[in-house]
Amino acid sequence: MKLIIVVCLFIREFYWWHGMKRDISEFVSRCLVCQQVKAEHQVPSGLLQPIMIPEWKWERITMNFVSALPVSEKERCNLGDS
C-alpha cells in the first residue's frame, strides 16, 4: 500500500487523470518488480552500536555456522576441503 502512495505522489507532480489512484493501484498490483520490492517490509535501521574492543587477545571469540546450503547444479563444493 505504501508503494502505491509513493508512486501516486510522484506521478501527481507531473500528471493527473480521473481514476489515477485506481489505475496506479492496479498497475502496481500486477507489476512483478513492484511485488519484489521489500522496502515496505524492512524495519528502519536504528543507530549503530559500537563494537566492544577486547582488552586481551582471545578475550572474546565468536563463530558463525552456515548450514543447509543449496546444492549447486554445476559443481559440488565442500567448504571443508580448502
| DSSP secondary structure string for all residues of 29-57 | HH-HHHHH--GGGSPPP-PPPPPPPPSST
Q: Is 13 contained in some domain?
A: yes
Q: Which domain does 15 fall in, by range?
A: 2-40
Task: Tell whether 77 is covered by a domain.
Answer: no
8 class by beta-carbon count within 10 Å (0-12 exposed, 13-18 middle, 19+ buried): middle
Number of domains in the chain: 1
**Within-domain flag for 24:** yes
Per-residue pLDDT tens over the stretch 49-72 = 887 888 888 888 888 888 877 777
Instruction: Evaluate whether residue 28 is within a structural domain.
Output: yes
**DSSP calls for 60-74:** S--------PPPPSS
- pLDDT at position 77: 60
Confidence label for 79 from pLDDT (cuts 50, 70 and 90): low
In a domain, 6, yes or no: yes
Residue 49: its pLDDT value, please?
A: 81
- CA-to-CA distance for 49 and 53, rounded, in angstroms? 12
Please determine, for residue 82, whether its predicted confidence score (pLDDT) is greater than 50.
no
Report the alpha-carbon distance of residue 75 to residue 79 in Å, rounded: 12
Residue 10 confidence (pLDDT) above 80 = yes
